[in-house]
Structure 1
Amino acid sequence: MPPPLVTSADPISGKPARSIGSAGPGGAQVADEAGPGRTRAKAGKAPAKPARPSARNGGGARRDQEVLDAATKVFHTRGYADASVQHIADELGILKGSLYHYIDSKEDLLFRLLDEAHDEVDAVLAEVQAVPDLAPLDRLHLYVTRQVDYTSRNLAKMAIYYHDVNQLSEGRLKELLRKRRQHEQFVAGLIEEAQARGEVDASVDSHLATNYLFGSMIWVYRWYKPGGKLKPAQVSTSCADFVINGLTGPR
């Protein structure tokens, strides 16, 4: 089995958010904060993508990163429901009105955070898929190792994702769930390939096993404490070993 590939967290790119409606499921309004003069869009209808400030007028990737970092801290410590745009502006040391140069609403920030997190874990998936000549279970071991390593290095972001993803409007939530399904299909496919090779018992339900696997990976954000005896590399490798042994018995 190949050694785990341990990487540090990928930085948030700070790309502009896709502006999608901010109505909740079934058309119910979401109680987030819209910027001055802005109106809410109905679910499923995407208004024109707002222009973001350029580096010349005070914007740019670095400032966008600072806004996302501040939102991550505030959402994680206060919870999304209790956080406000004013709290984020205070964290940045700017006026609330100035923050609306970078966002349209509080939900806009939440979506950008979670969408960027998905971009980062999607990059991990693509890297694992691109490794040549790996048996299905070895590829699965590598995937779990890399994803748990990412989670253990991005605990605040993952906590926000799993606590608050359902706060998103219907269209935005569907977009993230579509991305999530790509990972679930990848894992289920590897389990089925291993079954075809006789490495996993044919009686194992690949989709049920996939749910168990993601439960093991996801829960790391609840109990892992950085700075302790366990390092991310140890946690990620042991979780991957646990998953594979659960499918095959000790190898």
Structure 2
Amino acid sequence: MGTESESGGTSRSRARPPRRRREEIFEAAAGVFHEKGYKATSIQDIADAVGILKGSLYYYITSKEDLLFEILQGVHREGLQNLERIEATSGTPMQKIRAFATLHVRHNAENLVKMAVFFHDFRSLSPERQQLIVAERDLYDQHFRNLLIAGQKDGSVCPDLDPKLTAIEIFGMMNWIYHWYRPTGSLSMDELAQTIADFVVAGLACDPTTHAPGHRRAFAPMPDVPPPRLDPTADETGD
């Protein structure tokens, strides 16, 4: 039986597109989305970035949204694979929390452009596809909250902490690195991941034998901060 060529020739059956070419297209599309924004990017822009004809691009995709969805789903798929790696270990909850933070930060640092596209262009997906991504995200987030709860049960994670709020705070810190981290800087990816993992563990750790409610605030009590000074030139009447 015949196959369909990349240049768009007709055929009674379609050969599976080469995986390497698909990856090149996804990488190029992520770069263009990041540079121009999803809505401002055309299929021609992506074809030019890949170095193929616009018609050839449709051999691999059916729409621009297909590309965005594949990029975002790929980000989650790799994250879920990291969960499987963590669960394959026999470590304590706190050790798994360290592994989770380390792998999460490392993954984000290796995919800075894709992470930027994820956070900037997620809502450009159709509602149905957004729901699929959110379902995977919720599964990932819940896994981390479960580790926090397990740590509280064995006494390694401070019981004062609310698992849901704590997870949101930690993810906020880890996910924001796409905005400021550059691999060409003085901090390697491994150093970045280790530093943030250290920070996460230190912020969660608790000695159950000496724990007292609110003890964390005793490390640095809030000082008496004076109120803001009023601008003497401001019109107090508001007129």
- Superposition TM-score tier, normalisation by shorter sequence: 0.7 to 0.9
Residue 174 (str. 1) matches residue 131 (str. 2): yes
Q: Deviations over 1:84-109 (max 9, x none)?
A: 11100111222222211111111010
**Aligned with 1:191 (options 130, 148, 169):** 148
How big is the alpha-carbon RMSD for the aligned residues of Structure 1 and Structure 2?
1.8
Counterpart residue number, 2:47 = 89
Distance 2:13 2:73 in 1: 17
> Structure 1 residues 115 and 196 mapped into 2: Cα distance closer, same or farther (>3 Å)?
same
Letter of the 2:101 counterpart = V
Question: 2-side partners of 1:249 and 1:225: how far apart?
Answer: 33
Identity %: 38
Whole-Å Cα distance in 2 between the matches of residues 121 and 65 of structure 1? 17
Distance 1:117 1:144 in 2: 16
Number of corresponding residues: 196
**Would the aligned equivalents of 1:125 and 1:143 in 2 still touch at CA under 8 Å?**
yes
The structure whose Rg is larger is 2
Superposed displacement of residue 153, structure 1? 1.1
Q: 1:64 aligns with which of 6, 10, 22?
A: 22
Is the 2:109–2:181 Cα contact (8 Å) retained in structure 1? yes
User: TM-score, normalised on structure 2?
Assistant: 0.78
**Whole-Å Cα distance in 2 between the matches of residues 234 and 54 of structure 1?**
43
Indicate conservation of the 8 Å contact 2:106/2:190, yes or no. yes
CA separation of 1:77/1:145 partners in 2, compared to 1, >3 Å: closer, same or farther? same
Q: Is the 8 A contact 1:52 1:102 kept in 2?
A: no
Q: Trace 1:1-251 onto structure 2 (pairs within 5 A).
A: 53-54=14-15, 59-132=17-90, 134-248=91-205
Q: Which amino acid aligns with 1:216?
A: M
Match of 1:25 in 2: none
CA distance in 2 between partners of 1:157 and 1:202 (Å): 35
Cα distance change on mapping 1:249 and 1:82 into 2, 3 Å: farther
Contact 1:194 1:200 in 2 (8 A): yes
Contact 2:155-2:206 within 8 A present in 1 as well: no
Structure 2 CA distance for aligned equivalents of residues 207 and 70 of structure 1: 36
Q: Deviations over 1:193-239 (max 9, x none)?
A: 11112222322111000101111110111110111110000000111
Query: What 5-or-longer segments of structure 1 have no aligned partner?
Result: 1-50
Higher relative contact order (CA 8 A, sep 6+): 1
Question: How far apart are 1:249 and its partner, in Å?
Answer: 6.2
* Cα deviation, residue 135, structure 1: 0.9
User: Within 2, Cα distance between the matches of 1:190 and 1:230?
Assistant: 28
Structure 2: state its 5+ residue gaps.
Answer: 1-11, 208-239
Whether the 8 Å CA contact 1:149–1:233 is kept in 2: the answer is yes
Give the counterpart letter for 1:78 in structure 2.
K
Aligned structure 1 segments of 4 or more residues deviating by more than 4 angstroms:
none
Amino acid across the alignment from 1:200: V
- What does the per-residue CA deviation read over 1:90-142, in whole Å, with 9 as the maximum and x for residues that have no partner? 1122222221111111101000111111111111111011112x111110001
Matched residue type, 1:192: I
Q: 1:143 Cα deviation (Å)?
A: 0.7
